[in-house]
Amino acid sequence: MNLTLDEILQKIPDMENKSSESTLVYHSPDEDDLDFYIELCEFFRNSDDLSQQKVFDCLSEKKGILNTLLGMIFESAENLKKEKDVFWLKTGLTAAEINGNRLDPRDFLLALAELYVSAIKAGINPDSFFDAAKKAVPKNFKDYPVVKNRVGG
């Protein structure tokens, strides 16, 4: 489908209205909306800094979409385990970049840890991907207790 920046920015209010702002539960995209979130991640990953910043700024008060992006990280982790496709690792990390750790940092780190461990379970070394996602992933993330507990357990 390949959405443009203008199309994404126009679609955001509708997506926000469909999204839950509650952070008590992670909300993965509905089946009908999954394509939009995948397109959003693809667009963001392949865009210049200015376009990325426009998307990032547009979502600053959109707690429903930010929560759905958090859910998208978990969804990507599940799909990565099932399909063993690096596409889901990249999509999850891009969702993390767009989310920008703007809700609960504990949930954000937990989602990243699940993605990291899912990559390992899929036979993919996640280190270079996580290192490249500097905007989203804390430095030395693989050494965080939330990761070590999951890798060891």
Q: What is the pLDDT of residue 22?
A: 67
Residue 23's pLDDT band (cuts 50, 70, 90): low
CA pair distance 139, 47, nearest whole angstrom? 23
Residue 19's pLDDT band (cuts 50, 70, 90): confident
Taking only the tens place, the pLDDT of each residue in 89-134 is 999 999 999 998 888 889 999 999 999 999 999 999 999 999 999 8
With a cut of 60, say whether residue 12 has pLDDT above it: yes
Q: How far is the CA of 137 from the CAs of 22, 82, 145, in angstroms? A: 24, 23, 14
With a cut of 90, say whether residue 29 has pLDDT above it: no
- Compute the average pLDDT of residues 30-53: 94
Q: Give the mean pLDDT of the chain.
A: 92
With a cut of 70, say whether residue 24 has pLDDT above it: no
The count of residues in the chain is 153
Q: What is the pLDDT of residue 15?
A: 94
Q: Which residue has the tokens 């993919």?
A: 124
With a cut of 60, say whether residue 153 has pLDDT above it: no
Mean pLDDT lowest for which of 26-30, 32-36, 65-69?
Answer: 26-30
Secondary structure of the chain in the HEC alphabet?
A: CCCCHHHHHHHHHHHHHHCCCCCCCCCCCCCCCHHHHHHHHHHHHCCCHHHHHHHHHHCCCCHHHHHHHHHHHHHHHHHHHHHCCHHHHHHHHHHHHHHCCCCCHHHHHHHHHHHHHHHHHCCCCCHHHHHHCCCCCCCCHHHCHHHHHHHHC
Taking only the tens place, the pLDDT of each residue in 140-149 is 999 999 999 8
